[in-house]
Amino acid sequence: MKADKSGRNKIKTVLLVHGSPNTSGIIAKALSLLEKRFTDNDIRTVCFELGNKAVRGRLDCDGCRRSQRCIFSDDNCSELIEKMLKAVLHKLAENMFACLKERN
């Protein structure tokens, strides 16, 4: 990560994870606003749609800890892990829902 003129680290890429199956709901709108804000500040965004994809629950096998990949290849967890490793900042949209709901 490169530092800007102030000496702080400059974020290059933000990963936005959309965890809701509703692709046009409040989370999608919030992510769209975040994406615009980041883009306006020359920060690249990558959006990952997770809410409409199959993802297995955690089995506590520690396979991901050893290889940084899920041992299963028939869900989208490994694809998400790959994007997370490339991004600097992770913002899980579902965690924002309560905050956004309070504002409206």
pLDDT in tens, the chain (104 residues): 454 565 555 667 888 988 888 888 998 999 999 999 999 988 889 888 888 887 777 788 888 778 777 888 777 777 887 887 777 555 555 455 555 555 55
- How far is residue 80's CA from residue 50's CA, in Å, rounded to a whole number? 8
The answer to whether the CB of 1 falls within 8 A of the CB of 88 is yes
- How far is residue 96's CA from residue 47's CA, in Å, rounded to a whole number? 15
Degrees (nearest 5) of the Cα angle 32, 94, 34?
25
The answer to whether the CB of 96 falls within 8 A of the CB of 27 is yes
The H-or-E segment that residue 17 falls in is strand 13-18
Quote the pTM value: 0.65
The H-or-E segment that residue 18 falls in is strand 13-18
Residue 61 pLDDT? 84
Q: Where exactly are the structural domains of the chain?
A: 13-103
